[in-house]
Structure 1
Amino acid sequence: MRDGDWPTLRELLTRVVQVNSCLWLPMILCFSGPVLSFLTVYPLIRSARHRARLRFPSHDGRTADRDLLRVQTARAWLALVASFGILAVFGTSEDWSEAQQQYWIRLVATPWLLLLTAPLVIWWLFRSATATARTGLRTRLRPVVRSVLWFFGAFTAFAVLAGLMVAEFGFAVSVFSLGFLEGGGLPLVPVLADVALYGAVLWLACFLWFASGPVVRGVFGTAEVHAALPALLTGVLVWELSLISLAVSGLPPGPLPVQIAALLGGPASVTAVAWWEIDRLRRRHGVSLRA
């Protein structure tokens, strides 16, 4: 279920039924509420994941380079270990809470920073390219623009429907209370409208959740425009995220040398790996930023 397409609800239930009934039957009887909720929500989540994978493929279009992938993975693990080490030695409970807050801030802010940063980097790339190369870049840019519009449209729809859901919830409470007091029961149309609205909000939230990973890793598929573009965007984006973390949470805990190393070490190492990737693209594949 992690890499491939998730099974349908019928296939999932078929696999569950094959398990000994002594195991799953008591679970259904004891937890009928969560089980029914899962049976209702699972097809919706599966549909959102399927559409997100179709619209934003997990393959980012970069040239396969195992050595580069090993270096990127090692750098990520070293950064994670260093962050936990600094928090474990110098951090307080507030620092741990801020670290969790920074994670969610980065998760939410990264796609939008890409939307703001990518046009500037692409504009610089167009200025650096020859007139002949600009025509090809412009043609390959169209799928990226469509991906950006899809993501932005989905987020806008989610924000609008979530706002309507909050407003509708307060209205529904008053309507339902009035219906009970007058003995008229629950009006069917508002109930169905609320269910449809909640389902749409949940579907969009899941769609954005499953799309955010490929969007961030593949940088909206900009490798199809220029092989070095994801590395360029990564080098710029990491400094922007560092400035946001500094503005929101301040310096990391610890003595001043540790604070400076923690603040600059992460983005500097990411930038170094990004420029190493660009250099390997130039030497191995003839990719030039000013082609």
Structure 2
Amino acid sequence: MPHPYVPHPAPPLPGPVARLRRRIGPVHTARRVFRPSRPDLVEDAFIARMQKIRTLVGLAAVVWVSVSYKVGSSLRDVADDRVHQSWINVLVLSVTLPVVVGVLLALTAPSARRDLLRRAAKPFGAIFALIAAVFVFPLTVLTGFVDGRFATNPAMTVATWVIIVLILVWVLPFIAWGIGLALLHVFRTADIHPTMPPLLAMTLVWEMTLIDLFSGAYAGVPGPVRAVFMLGAPLSVTAVGVWELRRLRAHYGISVRGVVVR
């Protein structure tokens, strides 16, 4: 005798606090700002997993080399160096993306340029949002806000502390998640074309390698180890990028040629 079907109870609706956090919380806001959202977005779980593995392996290699050869005097110095490196990556990518979009505009047919600019609006918006959020901190210092310059009466004192707390509990997490998502999704350039993230990731990693080469990065590391370490990141990222491009073409019929509309 078959068992009667018993429907699973529906999950409880989120409370007002959870709904508010999903709407204006820093992490959820960062996800909306820095994740691509085009309607025909290719979501391949295997590609996403490979990108995360590559990122974790690269980070572990950097920490290992830095600690083993005492590039940083402490783990805090290593962490600070990685944060600084991530921010440099964001800045370099912020300069590279407009150049790439400019080249695409020059190669694209005039009738398709407006659509290209429309698709590029969200990546540029993500760049602006991250830089504006980071600029909040020097702005509060330069204006004397954190020193209590505007706390001239009890009401302004309370307002000053409320704003400082909001900066710490909202802006700081937004920046932290934003940098990670911006690098993982390459400033949501999949909104322009699915092949843009791997292409820009390969370009960025070789640009950072040249910067490290000319700035004398990891000067305390022996020559052969330094060469292997400096070439390991760009070669691994390039290998993953080429594999991703091949997977997009083989499984989804998407090629680099589709970026330019003639």
Question: If the length of structure 1 is used for normalisation, what is the TM-score?
Answer: 0.65
The structure where helix makes up a greater share of residues is 1
> CA–CA distance in 2 between the matches of 1:96 and 1:246?
23
Is 1:222–2:189 an aligned residue pair?
A: yes
> Which among 132, 145, 155 is matched to residue 189 of structure 1?
155
Q: What's 1:276 paired with? A: 243
Is 1:199–2:165 an aligned residue pair?
A: yes
> CA–CA distance in 2 between the matches of 1:47 and 1:72?
26
* Runs of at least 5 residues in structure 2 that lack an aligned partner in the other structure: 1-13
* Runs of at least 5 residues in structure 1 that lack an aligned partner in the other structure: 1-5, 12-42, 176-186
> Which among 76, 81, 84 is matched to residue 105 of structure 1?
84
Q: CA deviation at 1:279?
A: 2.7
Q: What's 1:53 paired with? A: 31
Deviations 1:207-264 (A, max 9, x none): 3233332222222321011111111111122233334445666236443211111111
Q: CA deviation at 1:146?
A: 3.0
SS in structure 2 at match of 1:64? coil
Q: In the alignment, residue 106 of structure 1 is paired with which amino acid?
A: Q
User: For the Cα contact (< 8 Å) 2:150–2:160, is it kept in 1?
Assistant: no
Q: CA deviation at 1:108?
A: 2.4
Q: In the alignment, residue 284 of structure 1 is paired with which amino acid?
A: H
> CA–CA distance in 2 between the matches of 1:218 and 1:108?
15
Aligned 1:60-71 pairs, distance under 5 A: 63-71=42-50
Q: In the alignment, residue 158 of structure 2 is paired with which amino acid?
A: L
Q: Looking at CA atoms only, which structure, 1 or 2, has the larger radius of gyration?
A: 1
> CA–CA distance in 2 between the matches of 1:240 and 1:207?
26
Identity %: 26
> CA–CA distance in 1 between the matches of 2:160 and 2:133?
20
Q: What's 2:7 paired with? A: none
User: For the Cα contact (< 8 Å) 1:113–1:237, is it kept in 2?
Assistant: yes
Q: In the alignment, residue 253 of structure 2 is paired with which amino acid?
A: G
Q: What's 2:11 paired with? A: none
User: For the Cα contact (< 8 Å) 1:90–1:254, is it kept in 2?
Assistant: yes
Bigger mean CA offset, 83-92 vs 143-152: 83-92
> CA–CA distance in 2 between the matches of 1:81 and 1:167?
36
Q: What's 1:40 paired with? A: none
Bigger mean CA offset, 109-118 vs 86-95: 86-95
> CA–CA distance in 1 between the matches of 2:133 and 2:35?
16
Aligned residues: 239
Deviations 1:31-78 (A, max 9, x none): xxxxxxxxxxxx8xx733343334334879862334434443443444
The alpha-carbon distance between structure 1 residues 83 and 219, as it changes in their structure 2 partners (threshold 3 A), is closer
RMSD: 3.5
The alpha-carbon distance between structure 1 residues 246 and 201, as it changes in their structure 2 partners (threshold 3 A), is farther
Aligned 1:94-173 pairs, distance under 5 A: 94=73, 99-165=78-144, 168-169=147-148
> CA–CA distance in 2 between the matches of 1:154 and 1:84?
27
